[in-house]
């Protein structure tokens, strides 16, 4: 198991006797378990999966043949057993500091006396490089996302509210066996000038831009996608900024390369928009990694320290937002390969006029 080997190598290199994985996202990444309660204990000799009766049958099915010793027990009740499983009194145990509460930390200290070391950074780093299986699943999820987009283009028309569109989108996700990977953004007219607009009862009008930013969870992995479409044609400045954003998106994807700093990739899109005179209207990052979480490493932003690696899956999503008038975002999702950025989507970037 590639992921087990990677964690064991990290443990060996950093003097850890064991590692405890407790967050839903990292449990899913490591094991494929889709439930939200459990612990995974990784030792050099064994892997333990601990969950209670509510999820035990699920674990038996989802983890069959993966080498875990399954233990039916509430995680709190497993506290006294940990020393035996770790096999050492004064063990150095890696845990997830980012998702450990103060009360849990006190419980760990009082219950074990282990030396606790953070493993958050290494788990995020390992998660950022997708396996071939991960990439195949995400491509399938993107096909579903595309199909939903095309359906929504048939539904958008003057008089339909953003809430109506949201309901239709959720229905199509569920019809395709998926859940949303985040709360979808559907923003029409002046609402599209807010990058993270909240869906409202505003009704679509002729002359509107409608921005749809959404994704699905397919087989445990997320997708992310944005297109801005026009309804009945738009005024000249909105058409101008659309073409600027399109150029920023296309040039960024064309020039991204393995080994580049993610901040360099961000600067490609940012410079194009700045040179066109709209730099003040582009204030968010150019992209982010996608996986078991909708936002994860690598971070494609001005201050990112990430270096792009083969197997990184991330978005490219520049935008321009004119307050009170409207905005444009064009977002793809793809994988970094040895030959450059491979976009998972086939949807046109030409302005779609409905």
- Render pLDDT for 7-27 as a digit per residue (tens, 0 to 9): 999 999 999 999 999 999 999
Task: Specify the pLDDT at position 219.
Answer: 95
Whole-number Cα distances in Å, 16 to 88, 102, 116: 11, 22, 9
What average pLDDT score do residues 195-224 get?
97
Q: Which two tokens stand for residue 2?
A: 């590639």
Given a cut of 70, is residue 249 above it in pLDDT? yes
Cα gap 8→23, rounded to integer Å: 18
| Phi, psi dihedrals of residue 144, rounded to the nearest 5° | -65, -40
Given a cut of 90, is residue 143 above it in pLDDT? yes
What letter does residue 183 receive in the DSSP assignment?
-
pLDDT tens figures, 317-343: 999 999 999 999 999 999 999 999 999
Task: Specify the pLDDT at position 109.
Answer: 87
Helix axes 120-128, 2-13, angle to 10 degrees: 140
Q: Identify the band that residue 185 occupies on the pLDDT scale cut at 50, 70 and 90.
A: very high
Q: Give the gyration radius of the chain's Cα atoms.
A: 23
Task: Please write down the long-range contacts of 31-34, taking CB distance under 8 Å and 24 or more positions apart.
Answer: 31/62, 31/63, 31/66, 31/68, 32/62, 32/63, 32/66, 32/220, 33/58, 33/59, 33/62, 33/63, 34/58, 34/62, 34/220
* Domains in the chain with CATH codes: 2-128 (3.40.350.10), 132-343 (3.90.230.10)
Burial of 336 by CB count in 10 Å (0-12 exposed, 13-18 middle, 19+ buried)? buried
Q: Identify the band that residue 107 occupies on the pLDDT scale cut at 50, 70 and 90.
A: confident
Task: Specify the pLDDT at position 298.
Answer: 98
Strand 332-337 relative to strand 216-218, pairing:
unpaired
Given a cut of 80, is residue 241 above it in pLDDT? yes
Task: Specify the pLDDT at position 29.
Answer: 95
Half-sphere exposure of 151 (CA within 13 A, CB side): 17
pLDDT tens figures, 114-130: 999 999 999 999 999 99
Task: Specify the pLDDT at position 198.
Answer: 96
Cβ–Cβ < 8 Å for 163, 191: no
Q: Which two tokens stand for residue 62?
A: 């989802």
Task: Specify the pLDDT at position 291.
Answer: 98
pLDDT tens figures, 25-47: 999 999 999 998 999 999 999 99
Helix intervals (H) in 200-320: 236-255, 262-275
Task: Specify the pLDDT at position 76.
Answer: 86
Given a cut of 70, is residue 1 above it in pLDDT? no
Q: What percent of the chain has pLDDT over 90?
A: 92
Given a cut of 90, is residue 146 above it in pLDDT? yes
């Amino acid at each position: 198991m590639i992921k087990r080997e990677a964690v064991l190598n990290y443990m060996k290199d950093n003097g850890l006797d064991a590692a405890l994985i407790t967050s839903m996202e990292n449990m899913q990444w490591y094991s494929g378990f889709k439930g939200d309660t459990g612990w995974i204990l990784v030792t050099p000799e064994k892997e333990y999966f601990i969950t209670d009766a509510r999820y035990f049958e699920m674990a038996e099915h989802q983890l069959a043949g993966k080498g875990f010793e399954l233990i039916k027990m509430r995680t709190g009740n497993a506290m006294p057993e940990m020393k035996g499983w770790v096999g050492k009194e004064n063990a150095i145990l890696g845990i997830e500091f980012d998702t450990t509460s103060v009360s849990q930390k006190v419980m760990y200290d009082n219950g074990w006396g282990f030396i606790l070391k953070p493993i958050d950074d290494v788990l995020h780093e390992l998660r950022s490089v997708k396996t071939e299986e991960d990439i195949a699943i995400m491509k399938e999820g993107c096909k579903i996302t595309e199909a939903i987009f095309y359906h929504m283009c048939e539904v958008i028309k003057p008089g339909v509210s953003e809430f109506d569109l949201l309901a239709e989108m959720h229905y199509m996700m569920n019809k395709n066996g998926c859940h949303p990977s985040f709360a979808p953004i559907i923003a029409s007219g002046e609402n599209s000038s807010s990058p993270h607009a909240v869906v409202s009862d505003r009704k679509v009008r002729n002359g509107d831009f409608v921005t749809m930013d959404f994704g699905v969870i397919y087989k445990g992995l997320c997708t992310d996608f944005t297109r801005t479409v026009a309804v009945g044609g738009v005024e000249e400045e909105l058409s101008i900024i659309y073409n600027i954003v399109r150029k920023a998106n296309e040039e960024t994807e064309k020039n991204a390369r393995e080994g580049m700093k993610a901040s360099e990739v961000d600067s490609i899109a940012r410079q194009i928009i700045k040179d066109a005179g709209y730099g003040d209207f582009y204030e968010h990052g150019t992209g982010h990694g996608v996986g078991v979480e909708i936002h994860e490493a690598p971070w494609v932003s001005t201050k990112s320290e990430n270096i792009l690696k083969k197997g990184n899956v991330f978005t490219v999503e520049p935008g321009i937002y004119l307050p009170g008038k409207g905005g444009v975002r064009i977002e793809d999702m793809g994988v970094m390969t040895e030959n450059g950025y491979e976009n998972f989507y086939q949807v046109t970037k030409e302005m779609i006029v409905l």
